[in-house]
Structure 1
Amino acid sequence: MTPRRVVLVTGLSGAGRSSILRVLEDLGYEAVDNPPLTLTEELVSRGDRPVAIGVDARSRGFDADIVLSTLERLRLNQGLRPELVFAYADEAALLRRFTETRRRHPLAPGGRVVDGIAQEMALTAPLREVADLVIDTSDTPLPALRRQIESRFASDRLGVTVSLMSFGYPHGLPREADLVFDARFLRNPHYDPYLRPKTGLDEEVAAYVEADPDFAIFFGQIEAMLRLLLPRFAQEGKKYVTIAVGCTGGRHRSVRIVEKLASHMRSLCLGNTGLDMRAWQVTVAHRELLKAGVVNASPPETISFQAQEA
């Protein structure tokens, strides 16, 4: 019998916790927001649907230690598969969101928003440290957040979800990344006036990047590393791997490498590992292009890895 999923969603006010709950509800989860903590286990015991429960500093009786002890008791039940998701955003992003919505911070209703943010960060720090998934929404558009939640919680797949992401270094490393590759040493299309306004999704940019004499070597070494690491991740029970490729602007070189990786994932021979690789999934996201409003037309793709005979 497959354990029933129970997702506790917590995090900072304004960081997207409610949006995550709505996505989970759309996926068929029974979603309950901010119930008294003492009722959490009773709510989980009812029904047979997967459950998503929102918990934050506004919850009656909120205490990080109580949340953690509740989570530990749920994990003792072999019929359940509990996970803790923490929604985070940096102070600048939270301040901007509270300013745009003109809302008061729930922990500082009569004071400064920045003080409420600091207080909430301190209160929830123990939860962030042990969360199964920390989602940094500082620069994440809602469609990208939805795809991230769907790829992890839509169903119980046999294999691993591999998330490929391009990004620009000046905007910070993706906090969710398991592996990061730096493409800044490749020649930069930004300095070509014709290529500058284009992106790594365009054929001209792709050809320019791949014409670098070191591109083929670099790309081949990335593939070789993935052939080694992905089966080992799966053997250790890891279900989600985020592979990030960065360049200076996050528009040209990293985008091209991520697109090429996505197209090559199907042909990667991962060796005779004894793993069932029929339901591995790959998703693609271009962080800086999403922020700039460039449409990312690469939907999640279910791929089949063929094990190589020894």
Structure 2
Amino acid sequence: MKVGVIGLGTMGMGAALNLLNKGHAVTGCDLRAESRDAFTAAGGAAVDSPDALPADLQAVVVFVVNAAQTEQVLLGEQGCLPRLAKGGVVLCCATVAPESARALGRKIEDAGFLMLDSPVSGGAVGARAGTMTVMASGSEAAFARAQPVLEAISTRVWRLGADIGVGSTVKMVNQLLAGVHIATAAEALALGIRAGAEPETLFKVISESAGSSWMWQNRVPHILAGDDTPLSAVNIFVKDLGIVLDQARALTFPLPLAAAAHQLFLAAAANGQGGKDDAFVIRVWQALTGIPLPEKA
């Protein structure tokens, strides 16, 4: 299958490599030369602009940051929609507001193409392993055309119906939980450190106790290693929890825990941590209380 992947970041690179390894003809697109070089070194092709993708693409997979970027790479002055073959499918994998997904779906369909509202979960490890979970909604024709791509990048595809926006709604709920769980894990670890618990031991005990969570087990090791390399950045949750709260406000629906978590990620970003790994929201407590955090070896 002839596929373009726009955004060779943590998730997009993993998806592009898995598509390549499954025998698809893949061209990646990214502004960053280092990302393009990494993909070409693996045997793929890469360009720096969406309109430079090859003609007659059968699918385009979009792994950019937000709705505005998604629309720009598809429909902007240098957008790639003209590079798609008739009946081609666009897989929109960014976390966006449901209404943004619906509006984009209408534009893509009006242009004569198919769209899957297909945000993903699984992190850097899942992306590289091809084991992501896809929360997808769209027409039967879109699912059929996208099937080879979905098989290459994921092990679980939730088919959530024909209506664009449902996939983004489910991902929004996931991000509410993920953001709150990361903030709570950081808060708990910070309290334990302030109270005198040894961090490594605390992590091991909680990991085998009722208070554990997937985020506790996945993110706390980043803190213990002192490694703030962004596998998922603080700024991602500034954006995603903002989407959650905007949707709740439109529904007149209170979300006190999500709002508190959003404020913590905002505080971390204001403290210069926006580009750091999201686990380092814990530096908010470090700034407030002076707790010592493990340093990178």
What TM-score results when the alignment is normalised by the length of structure 2? Answer: 0.27
Give the number of the structure whose residues are more often helix, by fraction. Answer: 2
Structure number with the bigger relative contact order (C-alpha 8 A, sep ≥ 6) is 1
Structure of higher CA gyration radius: 1
What TM-score results when the alignment is normalised by the length of structure 1? Answer: 0.26
